[in-house]
Structure 1
């Protein structure tokens, strides 16, 4: 599970990094990708056993909500 999470996170970084900045849907694409991470992993990590992953998911959640408020 942990390896899958980090691989998915890395793939997300690559997709965001390679997105065309002129695309009007850039924020919605990023938001959708972050939301997918939330849906897949929000309840999979316990802060006691998987602190780094837990914090990463919480950060993704906060960024996703900030984008939606725009």
Structure 2
């Protein structure tokens, strides 16, 4: 399926947001996620199903200064 992650089109076999995060190597508790502009809490990622061409925003803190 095609999804858009942070503005970039990607192909994935993941069916849930949690699986997609693992596939894309987003780990840890400090990321925020949204699908089609709607915030998805960490506790909901396992049950949040992806759809073809959905828009996913993943925000992670940046180290440094």
TM-score clears 0.5? no
**Which structure carries more helix by proportion?**
1
Query: TM-score by structure 2 length?
Result: 0.25
Query: TM-score by structure 1 length?
Result: 0.25
Which has the higher Rg, Structure 1 or Structure 2?
1
**Which structure carries more strand by proportion?**
2
Higher relative contact order by CA 8 Å / sep ≥ 6: 1 or 2? Answer: 2
